[in-house]
A and B are shown apart, each in its own frame.
Chain A
Amino acid sequence: MAVCVAVIAKENYPLYIKTLPNENELKFHYTVHTSLDVIEERIHSVSKNTNDLRELYLGLLYPTEDYKVYGYVTNSRIKFIIVIESTNATIRDNEIRSMFRKLHNAYTDMVCNPFYTNGDIIEST
Chain B
Amino acid sequence: MLSGLSCLLFRLENAFYELAQAYYHHESRVVKAHRDHLNKTTHALLFVRHQFKVAFYNELKQDSHTALKHYRQAYLHLHELRITDYNLLEIKTNSCIVNFKICKLCFEHNTPLDAISQFRRHVDIYKSKIGTADLAFEHSAWMSKQFAVFGDLFEEAIRAGLTAIQTQHPGFYYQEAARYAIARKQLCRGLCPAELKYPASDPLAEADKMEYYGQRPWRQGHQSLEAPSVQKEREGIQALQYRECQVDHSWLVIPLLSSAIAQFKKYKSPRMKRYLVVQMGEEYYHAKDYSKALALLGRVTWEYRSERWWSILTNILQLSLRCAYLVMSFEEYVTVSIELMGRYAQVPREEKIRIQMNLHKIFQDEVPEPEHGCEHDSVEKGRALWTTISAGGKSRSPIVVEMNSITAFVECKACFTADSFLCESPVTVKLGLHSFAPMPIRFSQLSVRFSNEAYNQFGIVVDENAVDDPIESTSYLKPGQTLWHTFQFIVEQDDVDCNLSIAGVDLVLGSLEGCCATLRWTDGGGDAIVHPFATQVHRKKVALNADFSVVSWDVLPSNYSTHISPREANLDVQLLQKGPALVNEFYLMTVSITNTEVAQISNVRTSISVVTAVADAVATAQPNTFLYEDIDLPCSQLISMPLLEELKPNQKVDNVAYVRCVDSGARLMCIQVSYQIPIDISGKMSMCNCMKEITSSIEVCEPFNITVSLTNMKFEKIEKVQLGEAFLSRMEVKCLSPWPVALQGSSLNLAKLVKFADEESLSQLTDVSLKQNDCAVEFRCLLSSGQTPSEIDIGSYSIEWRRVQNGAAVPFASTTVSLPTVEAEPIPLSLHVDMPAYGHMKAVLPLTYLLHNQTPFVQDMEIAMESSEAFMLSGHKQLFFRILPDSQHILRYNLFPLFPGYVTLPRLRVNMVRYSGVLDQLLSSVVPTHIFIKPFEKKVSA
Residues on the B chain within 8 Å of A9, using CB: 534
Q: Report the separation of the CA atoms of residues A118 and B676 in the bound assembly, to the nearest whole angstrom.
A: 55
Across the two chains, which residue of chain B brings its CB closest to A28?
Answer: B311
Contact residue among B179, B271, B532, B538 (Cβ-Cβ distance under 8 Å from A33): B271
Chain A: minimal CB distance from B283 (Å): 15
How distant is B745 from chain A, measured CB to nearest CB, in Å? 75
Q: Are A119 and B312 in contact (CB under 8 A)?
A: no
Q: Which 9 A-B pairs have the closest CB atoms?
A: A119-B534, A13-B308, A37-B269, A62-B167, A34-B272, A34-B271, A11-B533, A37-B271, A30-B275
- Give the docked Cα–Cα distance between A92 and B311 (Å): 31
Can you list 12 residue pairs at the A/B interface with Cβ under 8 Å?
A13-B307, A17-B311, A25-B311, A30-B312, A33-B307, A62-B167, A62-B172, A64-B176, A65-B127, A65-B179, A117-B538, A119-B535
Known: A11-B533, A26-B315. A34 touches B269 (CB 8 A): yes
Q: Which residues of B contact A38 (CB under 8 A)?
A: 166-167, 269
Q: Chain B's nearest CB lies how many Å from the CB of A61?
A: 7
| Also in contact, A41 and B179, with CB within 8 A (given A11-B532, A33-B271) | no
A93 to B617 CA separation, bound complex (whole angstroms): 67
Check if A118 sits within 8 Å of B538, measured CB to CB.
yes
Verify if B270 is at the interface (C-beta below 8 Å from A).
Answer: yes
> Does any Cβ of A come within 8 Å of B752's Cβ?
no
Determine if A101 is an interface residue (Cβ-Cβ < 8 Å). no
Within 8 A of B (CB), among A32-74: 33-34, 36-38, 41, 61-62, 64-65
| A13 to B538 Cα, complex, angstroms | 18
Q: How far is the CA of A119 from the CA of B14 in the complex (A)?
A: 73
- Nearest CB of chain A from residue B194's CB, rounded to whole Å: 26
Given A37-B269, A119-B534, A119-B537, 7 further pairs, Cβ under 8 A:
A11-B308, A14-B311, A25-B311, A36-B271, A37-B271, A37-B272, A38-B167
- A105 at interface, CB cutoff 8 A: no
Q: Per DSSP, are chain A's interface residues mostly helix, strand or loop, or mixed?
A: mixed
Q: Are B534 and A29 in contact (CB under 8 A)?
A: no
**A118 and B534 contacting across the interface, CB-CB below 8 Å:** yes
Please tell me if the beta carbons of B533 and A119 are within 8 angstroms of each other in the complex: yes
Q: How large is the interface on B (under 10, 10 to 19, 20 to 34, 35 or more residues)?
A: 20 to 34
A120 to B533: give the CA distance in the assembly, Å: 11
Q: Mark A105-125, 1 if CB is under 8 A from B, else 0.
A: 000000000000111100000
- Neighbour of A29 across the interface among B308, B311, B537, B538, CB < 8 A: B311
Hey, what's the 0/1 contact readout for B156-184 against A, CB within 8 Å counting as 1?
00000000001100001000100100000
Question: Complex formed: what's the CA distance from A13 to B127 in Å?
Answer: 35
Asked whether any CB of chain A lies closer than 8 Å to the CB of B268, the reply is yes
A26/B268 contact (C-beta < 8 A), A11-B534, A65-B179 known: no
How far apart sit A13 and B85, CA to CA, in the bound complex (Å)?
A: 48
Cβ–Cβ < 8 Å partners of A33 in chain B: 271, 275, 307, 309, 312
Q: Is the CB of B271 within 8 A of A65?
A: no
CA A76 – CA B658 in complex, angstroms?
A: 65
B471 nearest CB across to chain A (Å): 38
State A81–B925 Cα separation when bound (angstroms).
103
Q: State A13–B123 Cα separation when bound (angstroms).
A: 35
**With A9-B534, A37-B166: A26-B307 Cβ-Cβ less than 8 Å:** no
Chain B, residues 568-590, CB within 8 Å of chain A (1/0): the string is 00000000000000000000000
Whether A12 contacts B167 by the Cβ 8 Å rule is no
Q: How far is the CB of B275 from chain A (nearest CB, A)?
A: 5
Q: How far is the CA of A61 from the CA of B534 in the complex (A)?
A: 26
Residues of chain A within 8 A (CB-CB) of B315 are 26
Fill in one digit per residue for A1-20: 1 if any B CB lies within 8 Å of its CB, else 0.
00000000111111001000
Asked if B309 contacts A13 (CB within 8 A), the reply is yes
Bound CA span A25–B311, Å: 9
Chain A: minimal CB distance from B228 (Å): 36
Q: Evaluate contact between A29 and B312: CB separation under 8 angstroms.
A: yes
Q: A9-B534, A12-B307 are in contact. Are A37 and B312 (CB under 8 A)?
A: no
Residue of A with least CB distance to B176 = A65
| Closest residue of B by beta carbon distance from A35 | B271
Interface size on A, residues (CB 8 A): 25
Q: How far is the CA of A9 from the CA of B532 in the complex (A)?
A: 12
Complex Cα gap A37–B179 (Å): 20
Q: Nearest chain-B residue to A41 (Cβ)?
A: B166
Q: In whole angstroms, what is the CA distance A12 to B278 when docked? A: 19
Most buried by A among B127, B166, B278, B537: B166
Give Cα A38 to B312, complex, Å.
Answer: 19
B531-566 interface bits toward A, Cβ cutoff 8 Å, 1 = contact, 0 = none: 011110110000000000000000000000000000
B682 to chain A, nearest CB (A): 45
Distance (Å) between the CB of B160 and the closest chain A CB?
A: 24
User: Which residues of A lie under 8 Å from residue B308 when comparing CB positions?
Assistant: 11, 13-14
Q: Is the CB of B271 within 8 A of A26?
A: no
**Cross-chain contact B167 with A29 (CB below 8 angstroms):** no
Q: Mark B132-163, 1 if CB is under 8 A from A, else 0.
A: 00000000000000000000000000000000
A118 contact set on B, CB distance < 8 A: 534, 537-538
When C-beta atoms are compared, the residue in chain A nearest to B167 turns out to be A62
B311 contacts which chain A residues (CB < 8 A)? 14, 17, 25-26, 29
Query: Known contacts being A118-B538, A119-B533, is A26 close to B312, with CB within 8 Å?
Result: yes
Hey, which chain B residues are within 8 Å of A65, CB to CB?
Answer: 123, 127, 176, 179
Cα–Cα, bound, A36→B268 (Å): 11
Q: How far is the CB of B532 from chain A (nearest CB, A)?
A: 6
Q: How far is the CA of A99 from the CA of B760 in the complex (A)?
A: 108
A61 CA to B271 CA in the complex, in Å? 14
User: How far is it, in angstroms, between the C-alpha of A34 and the C-alpha of B535 when the chains are bound?
Assistant: 24
Quick one: closest B residue to A117, CB to CB? B538
Collect the chain A residues with CB atoms within 8 Å of residue B123's CB: 65
Across the interface, which residues of B come within 8 angstroms of A17, CB to CB?
Answer: 311
How long is the Cα–Cα vector from A99 to B123 in the complex, in angstroms?
Answer: 30
Chain B 489-533 residues near chain A, CB threshold 8 A: 532-533
What's the least CB distance linking A106 to chain B, in Å? 20
Measured CA separation A44–B237 after assembly (Å): 54
Given contacts A9-B534, A11-B532, A29 and B271 within 8 Å (CB-CB):
no
A122 to chain B, nearest CB (A): 13
Closest residue of B by beta carbon distance from A14: B309
Q: Report Cα–Cα, A19/B272, bound state, in Å.
A: 20
Chain B 242-285, CB-CB to A under 8 Å as 1, else 0, gives: 00000000000000000000000000111110010010000000
Interface residues as binary, B285-328 with A (CB distance below 8 Å gives 1, 0 otherwise): 00000000000000000000001110110010000000000000
Contacts of A61 on B, CB cut-off 8 Å? 167
B269:A29 contact, CB within 8 angstroms? no
Q: Shortest Cβ distance from A78 into chain B, in angstroms?
A: 11
- Bound-complex Cα distance A73 to B723 (A): 89
User: How many Å lie between the Cα of A36 and that of B278 in the bound state?
Assistant: 17
Give min CB distance, B320 to chain A, whole Å: 15
